[in-house]
Amino acid sequence: KLSSSEEMEETFRKKYKRQRPEQNDLCPPKKIIDDYDCDDSDVKIEHEDFLAYRSTYDRLFFTDYNIITYKSTAYEEFWKFLKKYMDFQKRLGVIKPVNLGLEARSPYCSSLSKIGIDISKTFDKCHLISFTVYKDVSSFISLLPPQDRSDKTRVGVKHVKLFRYVLLLFVDFLQKEKFKKLQKLRRFQADLPIAAHRNEVLQLLADNQIVILAGDTGCGKSTQIPQYLLQAGFQYIACTQPRRIACISLCKRVAHETLNEYQSEVGYQIRFEKRKSKHTRILFLTEGLLLRQVTEDPSLSTYKVIVLDEVHERHLHGDFLLGVVKCLVQKRKDVKIILMSATINIQLFQEYFRDQAPVVKVPGRLYPIDLKYFPVTLEEKRAKTEKLNPAPYVRILQLIDKEYPSAERGDLLVFLSGLNEINTVADACKEYAQSTQKWIILMLHSTLSITEQDKVFDYPPEGVRKCILSTNIAETSVTIDGVRFVVDSGKVKEMSYDATFRMQRLKEFWISRASAEQRKGRAGRTGPGVCYRLFSEKEYNEFSPYTTPEILRVPLDSVILQMISMGLPDARKFPFIESPPVDAIENALASLKEQEALDEDESLTPMGEMLSRLPVDVSIGKMLINGTIFHQIDIILILSAALSVQSPLTNRAYRDNECREARKDLESNQGDPLTLIKCFTEWLSLKSDPDFNSKKWCKRRGLEEQRFYEIIKLQYQFKNLLKSGDMLQTETEDLSSLSSAERSMRHGQVRHLHYLKREYHRSGVQKRAKLEMDYVNFGDEEEERESKTIDIGDVEFRLRHDSSQVQALLDRCSLSSFKDVAILKIILSTGLYPQVALADEHNQYKIGHDVFYHTRKKPFTVLHPMGVFANTPEILQLSDADVVMSGTSKSRHPVSNRHQLLIYLSLLETTKPYLMTTMRVPALQTLLLFSSSVDTNSDCSRLVFDEWIEVRMAEADWGMRYLARAVHLRTKWRSLLQLKLNEIKPTIQNAEKASIGQNKLEAELHKGLIQFYHQEEGFYSIKRLLAADLKIIYTLCPELNVKENPFKLDYETSPNEIKGGVQLAPYFTYNCLFDESALAQEPVTWHCLVCDGDITVTPLEKLAHMAFCGEPIAANEEVKEDNDPNKKSYYCPTCKMDLRLSLKDIIRHRKSHEEVTHRERTEVTHRENGSDTQRERK
């Protein structure tokens, strides 16, 4: 941006000071002029002369170091300007003199040198030009190649002088245009309603720490307040916004108004990117990002002023931030806070800050809006079987056509509650639009592709209006120019959270009066408008005043975790502006304990410390941490990012048969998460070819490519967070594998990509295109339009990845074997459990119909239609070969070794409770590895998991084997996790030995988990327990005879006073279930297949033997095994195995065999004497 002629003159003086000659630029060396300017004074210059040597002029005047660069927008405009200038001169018959009046511009030869003033004696228009080029003509001429003197159109001195003169005229023209725009901008700023309150706001801020600014829509508060603060001398201003797109757009606008578009005084920082430097004074950032900075710097010492915008929206992070700010002003007396909103509850906010926050009310600047109420009649509500009747909306289109001539511009914005309602109204409106040819129907919804969403900003043909059917995304997040008419249905779908069922509900509600006013205001942004409300004025008056705060309808796990990580001793006492229900906080704390993020004292565990550093849900964070343990970090990073962003599957993905057919090869029979991985890896493989049109490939399959770019960016952010927490080692890029030619090629490619990125940002927002009435060919025209624009996502992707890096990432993310799939599913289960669903027992009879699944709290859920299993439910059915038959018909609870559970990402209720993003897992193995409560009877033939799933083993021995192996693996896993998390602590001792033991433990656990996961021995049945079952299954009699933990855990055994039995581990209660057999606890002679010995044991002794038979040492001691000098080799003749034990362990091992032998002898004696020992024991 060119601010003044003096500044530009100084800039050019510095820029060309090394190239500036000592002579006047109009008096070049005689020899050069003679060579190129012989007899050209009579040459008549035509426009075609410049076109013939256009490439030559490009090299002379339009390099990367000139004010106008090659192929830029200004470059194209200059050649049009040159043609118009030459045509104009030709019509006037005016021929400029050779010197073109430029000699007076030279600072080196003065016409009034005697008095030291550089002023020409005669006036020339060129004196008004604010710029000059200090590079003389001879310097330009010296760059030209040899030319033919007889060629009258050759590039001579006269041509160069004239071209330079026109170039200066053009630059001056651009500068004057910019000054006109600047004057218009300053007048616009002065006319904003907020301008009249500038001094009042600054004075109140000087006298108070907190100021509340209640500014109506259009008053200019969001763009002007940061500028007022900067002009008043405030430094380091943070301005929060609830949405990323608002941060970027406001940053660009404020930078434009402060003439800082090409500087860094105004910047932004959002989730995936930032544009700031040490010189940044105004920073726009999201609320969540500022909260992350609070974790690192509780006093926010970086900022002197914090502006919280759109506080009326009452987002979760916004309310959390208000509580932080309230604490901050007590700690820092130098910080200033401004709360800004449109429809704010002033009384609530003033009481929250104890009347210490003065209020400034600023009216809006809306044009007059004609408000009309058209309530939907009962007949129209009942006329359709569907939930929504589109007739009232079509009638509004007819009314506009009748009352307003088509020559008058003005589009229609319709607010509807959700996508189904949008589709219903769109179908009816399109029929009317095709019959009248006066409307183009467009949709705006978050599930639509970016390209389809951007169509709403394009303009229609003459005499045609746009009808935009939108959710409440157009209420505040998006501003669409040209809207004159608004139709408000009065409905909105809001997400609420039911902590009891751990389920989100998307239900339709009446909007608040504040939202109704926001919607009405959209009709008066650019001119007088009309708002049609499809409800009565009485109904409007009965609306709630404000929207329900998000904190009252979302899960609080992540917020509570972040509070505790910030050092808050009791999350229940946090100063929320409106406190959430006590049950919501308690459920969040219980969930964090269940996820092992908090201990019983509600303090952070090592796992919780790591989770608090990751800006993701707790479940995603656990997956990332376990991914580092099993060295599967690349694919887990991709999958975690894919589950954290909006699904790449668009609304067309399952509705369009062509999309479904084209995507069939990408679907995985393991579930939705692995389908996402297949889609991403296939897309990534195509990106390795720079000439392949990946965007078109995605569109044909119902995928949104922008989501893949977001996944790439987010996985890098996750990786950096893990590195900063010392969970990952920092990698250095290895360029040695590239040859010099490849490095040179990559350097050229990067330079070209940087050029494209500069051009994209230099050209600004994409120009609005003209919409077409032809719906059939619209897609082809859209593809043609996209091909002509710069795909910034592709440019940024290729800047970060060359073909070799893409291939390397692809290799690391591939699932080449069943072992890779198994370990991936295990890691996913660590994060998502206890979000599991059990199939209904009658599903086997419902092929082709809705099948039901039960969760622990919510029964009779169904699969979401946009999922793999909803379209292929047969994958989840047991085949006849998998089921053990009972007589001639299947049992109600079939016995099999291939029962499956569904792990799901979330539970969402709309018209039905849907399981979202599901994956199938083996039932028994998953329950044993991840259940927080495992209850058994005495012989482990009956197991109850988390008090809602019961498993009955066909053979008791297999129940013991599974259980013993699971306890052993869970113990190893916990030990390994503790070792891994301790790596981030610098006080860890004997790091080298710990690393050796850790590597061995990792290998053993990895192998053991895969073997256990694919183990199919042993048949069992599985069923859901009802509330009535839980009342009768437990013995309620504590077991007092177990003094030593048979699993050799560090956990001290204790009787379970609630269920009965004995607690052998935090998650394992033994012998608390009623036994159907009276002799279930009697000692029996048993043959161990591992040590090939016959021993007489009780069920608990058998379980202990299975846990460690074949295992040389307890899992929690394996790290020290190779280096403990107190251990020695020992051969056990009974077990027939070589063991490495300490002296104490050898004595204990021998004693265990002696007790068994003594018991066998006693049993024999009792049997010989006809003793009634067994009846007495009973």
653 φ, ψ (degrees, to nearest 5): -55, -40
- Count the neighbouring beta carbons within 10 Å of the beta carbon of residue 1124: 13
Residue 1074, pLDDT score = 85
* Dihedral angle of Cα 165, 169, 174, 175, to the nearest 10 degrees: 100
Nearest to 847 by CA among 867, 888, 877, 892: 877
* Topology (CATH level 3) of domain 193-362: Rossmann fold (3.40.50)
Q: Cβ of 355: how many Cβ atoms within 10 Å?
A: 8
Q: In the prediction, which pLDDT does 489 show?
A: 93
In single-letter form, the type of residue at position 1092 comes to D
Sorted by sequence, the CB contacts under 8 Å of residue 736 that are 6+ apart come out as none
Asked if domains 193-362 and 369-552 share a fold, the reply is yes
* Biggest CA-to-CA distance, the chain: 143
Q: Is 59 exposed, middle or buried (0-12, 13-18, 19+ CB in 10 A)?
A: middle
> How confident is the model over 174-187, as pLDDT tens digits?
888 888 888 998 99
Predicted confidence band at 661 (pLDDT cuts at 50, 70, 90)? confident
Helix (H, G, I), strand (E, B) or coil at 630: coil
Distances 1126 to 51, 1120, 1122 between C-alpha atoms, Å: 92, 11, 11
pLDDT range class, residue 843, cuts 50, 70, 90: confident
**CA 398 to CA 433: how far, in whole Å?**
10
Res 839: pLDDT: 92
> Picking from 423-427, 480-484, 617-621, 811-815, which range would have the lowest pLDDT averaged per residue?
811-815
Report CA dihedral (672, 674, 680, 681) to the nearest 10 degrees.
-160
**Amino acid code (one letter) for 628:** T
Q: pLDDT confidence of 293, banded at 50, 70, 90?
A: confident
pLDDT for the residue numbered 15 = 45
Q: What is the pLDDT of residues 1071-1080, one digit of tens each?
A: 899 876 655 5
CATH architecture of the domain formed by 369-552: 3-Layer(aba) Sandwich (3.40)
- In the three-class reduction of DSSP (H, G, I as helix; E, B as strand; rest coil), residue 35 is classed as helix
Range name among 92-96, 377-381, 1012-1016 with the lowest pLDDT average:
92-96
- Chain segment 34-88, per-residue pLDDT in tens: 444 444 455 577 777 788 888 888 888 888 777 788 878 888 889 999 888 888 8
Per residue in 15-37, pLDDT tens? Answer: 444 444 333 333 333 333 344 44
Q: Are 293 and 299 within 8 A, CB to CB?
A: no
- Higher pLDDT, residue 778 or 337: 337
> Looking at residue 491, what is its pLDDT?
92
Supply angle C-alpha 640, 646, 648, rounded to 5. 90
Structure tokens at 534: 């499809």
Provide the 10 A C-beta neighbour count for residue 111: 14
CB 1125 within 8 A of CB 1143: no
> Taking residues 648-657, what's their average pLDDT?
82
Tell me the percentage of the chain whose pLDDT exceeds 70.
Answer: 76
Residues written for the chain: 1178
β-strands 305-308, 336-341: how paired? parallel
Q: Which two tokens stand for residue 309?
A: 């915008």
- Reply yes or no on whether the pLDDT at 760 is more than 80: no
CB atoms within 10 A of CB 731: 8
pLDDT at 118 over 70: no
Taking residues 820-841, report their average pLDDT: 92
Which residue in 307, 236, 243, 313 sits closest to 271, CA to CA? Answer: 243
Closest by Cα among 184, 178, 156, 191 to 57: 156
Question: DSSP per residue over 135-173, as a string?
Answer: S-HHHHHHTSPP--TT-TTS--HHHHHHHHHHHHHHHHH
- Domain boundaries in the chain? 5-182, 193-362, 369-552, 559-600
Q: Is the peptide bond before 1066 cis (omega within 30 degrees of 0)?
A: no
Average pLDDT of 945-965? 90
Q: How far apart are CA 941 and CA 135, in angstroms?
A: 94
Q: How many CA atoms lie within 13 A of 875 on its CB side?
A: 20
pLDDT at 249: 81
Sequence-ordered alpha helix ranges (H) in 630-688 = 633-644, 652-655, 657-662, 672-687
Taking residues 799-827, report their average pLDDT.
Answer: 81
At 874-920, the pLDDT tens digits run 888 888 888 886 533 445 788 988 999 999 999 999 888 999 999 99
* Helix runs in 16-146, H state only: 30-36, 47-52, 54-61, 73-92, 137-142
Element of type H or E holding 1160:
helix 1143-1168
Which of 784, 809, 806 shows the shortest CA–CA distance to 797? 806
Query: 337 to each of 103, 200, 280, 322, how far by Cα in Å?
Result: 58, 15, 19, 10
Query: Taking a C-beta distance cutoff of 8 angstroms, is the pair 1116, 1050 a contact?
Result: yes
Query: What pLDDT shows up at residue 1136?
Result: 56
| Helices marked H in 764-802 | 778-787, 792-800
The residue that leads in pLDDT, 813 or 529, is 529
pLDDT one-digit tens code per residue, 217-252: 778 899 999 999 999 999 899 999 988 778 888 898
Residue 746 has pLDDT above 70, yes or no: no
Give the whole-angstrom CA distance, residue 1004 versus residue 1113.
Answer: 13
Query: 535 falls in which pLDDT band (50, 70, 90)?
Result: very high
Task: Give, in order, the Cα–Cα distances in Å from 1039 to each of 81, 935, 938, 1072, 1097.
Answer: 96, 13, 11, 8, 18
**pLDDT interval class at 990 (50, 70, 90):** very low
Tell me the C-alpha distance between 607 and 974, whole Å.
Answer: 11
Average pLDDT over residues 732-751: 64
Confidence of residue 467 (pLDDT cuts 50, 70, 90): very high
**What distance in Å separates the CA atoms of residue 1000 and residue 993, rounded to the nearest whole number?**
11
Residue 639 clears pLDDT 50, i.e. is over it: yes
- Best CA proximity match to 1004, nearest among 1037, 976, 1032, 963: 976
| Both structure tokens of 501 | 């069922």
Is 421 exposed, middle or buried, given 0-12, 13-18 or 19+ CB atoms closer than 10 A?
buried
More reliable by pLDDT, 1126 or 666: 666
In the structure, what pLDDT confidence band is assigned to residue 307 with cuts at 50, 70 and 90?
A: very high
